[in-house]
């Protein structure tokens, strides 16, 4: 059965992986990649699928209600996978208004356009779905009750007590109360509430997933792992917030995409699912792992822990995140497959093999790709 699906934020890090998966896996689906192409949007991420017959790119701001409503009608959209968002906490601290505009008002614009179009159809909401990808940061922070680490309660392909520890006894569950601390997480919490409200008030079929920290190829180098890889290669200082003991649950991006696919095609309407990696690691561990890996691979004695520079901690910095994804495993059969030890090697390999991609990002040349590739289309 054919479908017409819009993937918002499809030129970004996670979005481009989702677009690629859906275009290749579902040739009978029409996949529309909708992206404003702000600083983190890079169409070069999708060179390998841009000529596929079931792929289409539309440059659009999700806050433009009229344009999106028209797109819904023109393309007969029956599914929306919503990833477009401002997502860097540091930027949200400096400019919370942009985060409120994009993450809250942009989501509301999509919801209202979908509501008006779907309710105008004879079948109404039958066969429709609005799928909102959110973050574990809406839950706030977990207490680090066991800084020495304890045996984790989960054992999956990606995780075991031999490979990693948990840093507390509590975790984020789907019914954990919202307690956002940054402007970014507050804006995502607000957008979550709007998605839920459209389900409860109008009966719109929705799903929400809240994921932990993603990593992998094509990630914009303001985020921890690609930033550190690039800085290490060039012997630049490696800024680490505070003591570096902020704990994050690391999820390999391709594992996340598999979860998105399962929820999109099999998730129960109205349900929320947590998607986590079962890979709790302190930030300082991540940095030291990258240093060790690149020192050994590049045979470069200039790469050492001397590059680490501890800086003042981020305002309101959450201490620990840790997701319990038992529900999505029980309901849909998803669980993380990639151990951090494997995922970080795959990630470093990719960045070492794609130096030109990184150079285009750091030089700003990637922003010219849209004009060069689409000027005659």
* Residue 372 pLDDT > 60: yes
Task: Identify the domain containing residue 86 by its residue range.
Answer: 4-215+250-278+317-339
Question: Active-site residue among 61, 78, 86, 137?
Answer: 137
Question: Which residues, other chains included, contact 99 with Cβ-Cβ below 8 Å and sequence gap of 6+?
Answer: 86, 91, 92, 183, 184, 187
Confidence label for 371 from pLDDT (cuts 50, 70 and 90): low
Query: Is 64 considered catalytic here?
Result: no
What is the 8-class DSSP label of residue 24?
H
- For residue range 344-365, what is the model confidence (pLDDT) as tens digits? 999 999 999 999 999 888 877 7
Q: What is the mean pLDDT of residues 157-181?
A: 84
- Residue 355: inside a domain: no
- Residue 301: inside a domain: no
pTM over 0.85: yes
Domains: count for the chain: 1
Q: What is the mean pLDDT of residues 275-295?
A: 95
- Residue 221: inside a domain: no
Query: Is 184 considered catalytic here?
Result: yes
**Would you state the pLDDT for residue 368?**
72
- Residue 62: inside a domain: yes
- Residue 185: inside a domain: yes
The CB density around residue 226, as the number of other CB atoms within 10 Å, is 24
- Residue 375: inside a domain: no
**Would you state the pLDDT for residue 81?**
98
- Residue 373: inside a domain: no
Helix (H) or strand (E) holding 112: helix 106-119
CATH of the domain at 88: 3.40.50.720
- For residue range 90-135, what is the model confidence (pLDDT) as tens digits? 999 999 999 999 999 999 999 999 999 999 999 999 999 999 999 9
Question: Active-site residue among 136, 174, 192, 249?
Answer: 136
Token pair of 245 as six digits: 């003991």
- Cα–Cα distance for residue pair 116/77, rounded to 1 Å: 12
Query: Is 335 considered catalytic here?
Result: no
* Residue 273 pLDDT > 70: yes
* Residue 39 pLDDT > 90: no
Residues 258-261: contacts with CB within 8 Å, 24+ apart? 258/21, 258/334, 258/337, 259/209, 259/211, 259/328, 259/332, 259/334, 260/18, 260/21, 260/81, 260/131, 260/133, 260/209, 261/21, 261/22, 261/25
* Residue 160 pLDDT > 80: no
Confidence label for 159 from pLDDT (cuts 50, 70 and 90): low
Percent of the chain topping pLDDT 70: 95
**Would you state the pLDDT for residue 63?**
98
**Would you state the pLDDT for residue 370?**
55
Q: What is the mean pLDDT of residues 201-219?
A: 97
The CB density around residue 116, as the number of other CB atoms within 10 Å, is 13
* Residue 203 pLDDT > 70: yes
Q: Is 223 or 263 the better-scoring residue by pLDDT?
A: 263
Question: Active-site residue among 26, 125, 167, 184?
Answer: 184
- Residue 285: inside a domain: no
């Amino acid at each position: 059965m054919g479908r017409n699906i819009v993937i918002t934020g499809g030129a970004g890090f996670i979005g481009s992986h989702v677009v690629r998966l859906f275009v290749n896996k579902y040739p009978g689906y029409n996949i529309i990649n909708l992206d404003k192409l702000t600083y983190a949007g890079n169409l070069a991420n999708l060179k390998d699928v841009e000529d596929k017959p079931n792929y289409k790119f539309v440059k659009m701001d999700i806050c433009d209600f009229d344009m999106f409503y028209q797109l819904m009608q023109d393309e007969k959209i029956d599914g929306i996978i919503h990833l477009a968002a401002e997502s860097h906490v540091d930027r949200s601290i400096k400019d919370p208004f942009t985060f409120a505009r994009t993450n809250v008002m942009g989501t509301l614009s999509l919801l209202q356009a979908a509501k008006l179009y779907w309710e105008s159809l004879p079948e109404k909401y039958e066969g429709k779905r609005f799928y909102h990808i959110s973050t574990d940061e809406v839950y706030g922070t977990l207490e680090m009750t066991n800084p020495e680490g304890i045996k984790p309660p989960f054992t999956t392909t990606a995780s075991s007590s031999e490979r990693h520890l948990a840093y507390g006894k509590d975790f984020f569950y789907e019914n954990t109360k919202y307690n956002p601390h940054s402007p970014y997480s507050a804006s995502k919490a607000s957008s979550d509430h709007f998605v839920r409200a459209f389900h409860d008030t109008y009966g719109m079929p929705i799903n929400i997933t809240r994921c932990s920290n993603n990593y992998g190829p094509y990630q914009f180098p303001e985020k921890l792992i690609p930033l550190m890889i690039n800085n290490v290669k060039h012997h630049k200082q490696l800024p680490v917030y505070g003591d570096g003991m902020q704990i994050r649950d690391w999820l390999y991006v391709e594992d996340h995409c598999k979860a998105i696919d399962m929820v999109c095609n099999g998730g129960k309407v109205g349900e929320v699912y947590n998607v986590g990696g079962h890979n709790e690691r302190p930030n300082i561990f991540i940095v030291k792992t990258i240093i060790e890996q690149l020192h050994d691979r590049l045979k470069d004695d200039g790469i050492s822990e001397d590059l680490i520079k501890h800086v003042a901690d981020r305002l309101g910095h959450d201490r620990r995140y840790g997701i319990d994804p038992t529900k999505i495993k029980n309901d849909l059969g998803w669980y993380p497959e990639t151990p951090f030890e494997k995922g970080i090697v795959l990630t470093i390999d990719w960045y070492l093999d794609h130096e030109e991609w990184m150079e285009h990002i750091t030089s700003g040349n990637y922003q010219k790709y849209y004009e060069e590739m689409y000027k005659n289309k």
